[in-house]
Structure 1
Amino acid sequence: MDSVSDTPTTIATLRAGDEVDAVFACTRKERLMSRAGTPYLAVELRDRTGAIPARVFRDADVATARFERGDLVKVAGRVERFREELQLDLRSIAKAPEGEADPATFLPVAYRDLDELDGFLEHLAGEVHDADYARLLGAFLGDTTFRAAFRRAPCTRAGHHAYLGGLLEHTVAVGTLALEACQLHPRLNSDLLLTAAILHDVGKIQEFTYGAEIGLSEPGRLLGHVELGLRLIDARSGALDVEHRLALSHCVLTHHGPDAAPQRRFGSAEALALYRLNALDATVKGALEHGLD
């Protein structure tokens, strides 16, 4: 009997005979040939609850042009049992219209509460007392579009913090470490180091795309998050004097190491500190998520 329900369709709840009209993530797509010599599509559909194979037998070559692996796809079909396993026999499949489904439904997300992390970020920004740096941070954190993008972004695609909200979680961690380092080493310029810790990965909001998987945007592929971040900072730092701007830009430029600097060395203790603190959080988190090499 066909199932009829007002609740959202999830893969874990599918049963043989169910009619399906829903959006899923496409994580596999292959054009194959049947024994009769006709083409068909074999795909894998996934959501947070699991994955299911699906087949398109009718007009396979027409269907293949309507979506790509990595897309969120809108499908219609029926759940069948084949060789003791469930699969979807699809009547239609196409890339889901923009805005019809939230990628967060299909991508991994931070376990930590994002509202709580947002609060920590606000607290860290409040510890910056230099008026010029505080104004710059306000230009970022007061922008609701930026805040939404920053809250959503991962830190990496497959490394540390490789999930939605990962950038916010990592930034709060590095900022907290920076605050502690400044208490231990009061000669550090805490305003510079903390501002750099909050903004060092800001370019990641433009580095990724979101669909069935976390992808790499064209700007991310061609420029990378460091250059993208420097451009975002430059666009909002018109009120900064040359000294403030150079000190901050150097910290951001070298937060993966001094090789990016023209002189191939750190130009300030704050830049060195940011590099070490960023690496500390990234490597420890990576070890906890993926194990020790």
Structure 2
Amino acid sequence: MTQAGVYGQRLGRGLHVKEAPVLITRSLRSAEVAVTEVRNDKPTPELSGSLPAEDAYLVSLKLRDYPACECWEEGRYVTREDIRAGATYLYDLKRDPRYVIDKPFHSLFFYLPRPALHDMARRPGAPRIGELSYEPGVGHDDGVIRHIGASLQEALRRPDETNQLFIDHMMLALTAHVAQTYGGLKPVAEPSRGGLAPWQVKRACDRLDSDLSGKVALEQIATELGLSVSHFSRAFRISTGLPPHQWLLRQRVKAATQLMTVRNLPLSEIAISAGFANQSHFTRVFTQMVGVSPGAWRRETHGGPDA
């Protein structure tokens, strides 16, 4: 299948990097949203490649200082600015954004096509989002994007241990934040109540429980309930006290504790059966949530083996 958006290897080629780890969500009904990590510690000095022109934006979180960055748009020099680690920069793919690569760099790039931004405005009376507000080469001190970026960096390092619900949740938050902060979308006032109906809670929980690996997407569950992704995520949290990806982690740990009552079942098998990627992933999550390692919990509770 041909990749449509400017993310992953397609973005990596433009920035002259061989490795471009990517996470993709399809929770937004109109388009894919993705985050790509790009890094080059020993670049060959040259102008970055021209990226495919699209009605889309790249929102970049810089993870390393880049002094005197020379920025270009539409084939013309625009500005030279000092880029600071932790700052957020916006690029309009309709304008052929490029820059001179002559120093080591490390960044996250969020790919946001316009249909994904319009999805955020799908409510009565909400205007369509116009052009995002930014100046070429001018960074923003954006704590929300720093937080989301830090969370997704961990997921990019361990993609096999990251469930799709978590990716969907973080990308939805990122898209909504960009639409509000740079696109002028006014946030919807949170209702004092508004959780799911009891039958919806049961169906959603049953759906999540049926696949502890977390491969089911938020959009899939929301569609089955006749809801938008953002409405479902908010209402699920009101009803259960947890966002879907955290609720699923709790169910994995619950399943694992039940399996650990089987005296001779190895922890490696328990990990896979409970939806974890491997034993180390199981140990890390279980220890964070319970306070002790799975082996210690089983010894203290049932006197079972360590592995």
TM-score normalised by L of structure 1: 0.24
TM-score normalised by L of structure 2: 0.24
Higher normalized helix content (fraction of residues): 1
Larger radius of gyration: 1
